[in-house]
């Protein structure tokens, strides 16, 4: 029975795109934000994502009529972690 379960799981991972993507995402390294603990994927567009995320942590309500969209303000630092 265990042999059949193992074979089924192997066949399933070969055929199921959703499961293959989930398995590959587990092995990726990610950039973790120091302010909100959000993780960004480490790929060719990582610099762009990190810059846009840093802009999210800027308080835009100071000196403008814009409303606050975030409560965690400060300088975001990113650390490369394995997940």
Using DSSP, state whether 7 is helix, strand or coil: helix
Q: Is the pTM of this model over 0.85?
A: no
d(CA 4, CA 24): 24
List the chain domain ranges: 2-82
The pLDDT of residue 72: 73
Q: How does 54-65 read in b/e, with b if 16+ C-beta sit within 10 Å?
A: bebbeeeeeeee
- 42-82 pLDDT, tens digit per residue, is 888 999 999 999 888 877 666 667 666 666 778 889 998 88
- 19-50 pLDDT, tens digit per residue, is 666 666 666 788 999 988 888 988 889 999 99
């Amino acid at each position: 029975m265990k042999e059949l379960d193992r074979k089924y799981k192997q066949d399933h991972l070969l055929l199921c795109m959703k499961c293959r993507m989930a398995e590959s995402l587990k092995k990726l390294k990610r950039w973790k934000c120091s302010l909100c603990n959000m993780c960004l994927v480490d790929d060719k567009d990582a610099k762009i994502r990190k810059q846009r995320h840093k802009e999210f942590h800027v308080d835009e309500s100071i000196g403008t009529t814009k409303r606050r969209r975030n409560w965690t303000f400060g300088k975001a630092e990113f650390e490369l972690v394995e997940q």
